Amino acid sequence: MANEQGLKIAVIGGGSSYTPELVEGFILHYNELPVRELWLVDIEPGQRKLNIVGNLAKRMVEKSGLPIEVHLTLDRREAIKGADFVSTQMRVGMLDARGRDESIPLKYGVIGQETTGPGGMMKALRTIPVLLDICRDIEELAPNAWLLNFTNPAGMVTEAILKYSNVKSIGLCNAPIGLIKQTSAKYGVAADRIYAEFVGLNHLHWITRIDVNGEDKLDEMLADTAGYSAKNVPAREWNPEFLQSLHALPSYYLKYFYMTDAMLEEQLESFQKGGNRAEVVKRVEEELFELYSDPELKDKPKQLEQRGGAFYSEAAVNLMRSLHNGTNDIQTLNVANNGIIDFLPDDASIEVNCVVTKTGPLPLPLTKVPPMATGLIHAVKTYERLAIDAAVTGDRGLAIQALAHHPLVPSVEVAITMLDEMLEANKEYLPQFFKETTANA
């Protein structure tokens, strides 16, 4: 654990293309976050990427002259042992599984997206058991560590950890920090002069207040119908009359709910041309790893910002710094509800502003919950809770109920037929749903 020599940090999914951004953050903020050991962990199929990214990380640290030891390993337990922070950025099934998550729902006339709708549910079913297994290692080998989870669907994964483990865990998303950075650039002010209130769930939030230097700028931001956007969600402008009457800035993921027909049409057109987001990410990653392989490269390349998760690592480093130093600053995080949104259970994971103390985040009371948003929040949380329990138990009935009650799924028949195909396509990663088959094999 932390001592005079510094901190031990384990990154699960260390071979990710995001890792150089994380390493850059550790180097830039070494004085406030003195990392002694950085362990990058991956699984055997990811070893090539781990070696490429890990060697770049070592060159970056060497150039900085800082006394940070970078370890590359496939031994998760060795990496976790005695860690102060464990960060997760995994993709169970890798990009091929993401491609199926995005393409299969389209056959049924349903949105195919990595974290929203049926694709998000499949990702949760694959991911939650693996994360809970990691949590068992943390409970045994680093019981005082903080687990910072960026693995999507981040809100559902965080809720599963809160419900089914004793690990201290916080969920992270790059969307809130992206909004702050966009606002900072728009008004030419430092990020700490901006206050934005986030209300809702991960990838399902509304911004009900944006203050810049103490002045209310929400109406001005709403007038920009392009809204704040991301590389992984198609750019389509909001209806200005709708935004003004909503009087809240919706997350770009809410386009899948508010503009379902148009977004589905866009996805179908893209898919027919042979491209879904998974294919785009594959190409971007191949280019990045080619860059990372250059032995002369000793800095994070600018091209990483095209990856779609820009600023995630900055958010992760900010959170570690705040927890380590007890800075009591405000960050937007995925935490247990505990009465903040009064129509949701206390153990539900929500995405809201928190004061980050040395003992953990304290969620702030909300000044405004848009009344028109409550039904959608409640419906999606109902789906999430059913899907989380299905992921843990392998209960097909729960999975049917989760999918059938998702607002983007049109009927029970579609839910069941689509679920069958998606479970079969993910069979390799879903042993909890195929116990009889496994037993008879």
| Domain region containing 163 | 7-171+277-310
pLDDT band with cut points at 50, 70 and 90 for residue 98: very high
Contact by Cβ (8 Å): 106, 267: yes
Tens of pLDDT, residues 335-386: 999 999 999 999 999 999 999 999 999 999 999 999 999 999 999 999 999 9
CB atoms within 10 A of CB 191: 12
Residue 287 resides in a domain: yes
Q: Given 3-state DSSP classes, what are the helix, strand and coil percentages for the chain, each rounded to the nearest 5?
A: 50, 15, 30
Residue 185 resides in a domain: no
User: What's the number of domains the chain is made of?
Assistant: 1
Residue 24 resides in a domain: yes
Residue 407 resides in a domain: no
Residue 22 resides in a domain: yes
Which of helix, strand or coil describes residue 205? Answer: strand
CB atoms within 10 A of CB 212: 20
Residue 155 resides in a domain: yes
Q: Is the pLDDT of residue 233 over 70?
A: no
Beta bridge partners of residue 41, listed in sequence order: 12, 73
Q: What is the pTM of this model?
A: 0.93
CA distance 39 to 84: 11
Tens of pLDDT, residues 116-165: 999 999 999 999 999 999 999 999 999 999 999 999 999 999 999 999 99
126 membership: H or E segment, kind and range = helix 118-141
CA distance 342 to 365: 11
Residue 35 resides in a domain: yes
Residue 413 resides in a domain: no
Kindly list the catalytic residues: 253
ω into 153 cis (within 30 of 0): yes
Percent pLDDT > 70 in the chain is: 94
For residue 245 the two structure tokens come to: 């009457």
In 120-237, the DSSP E strands lie at: 146-149, 168-171, 194-201, 204-212, 215-216
Cα 428 to chain centroid distance, Å, stands at 23
Domain containing 83 — which CATH number? 3.40.50.720
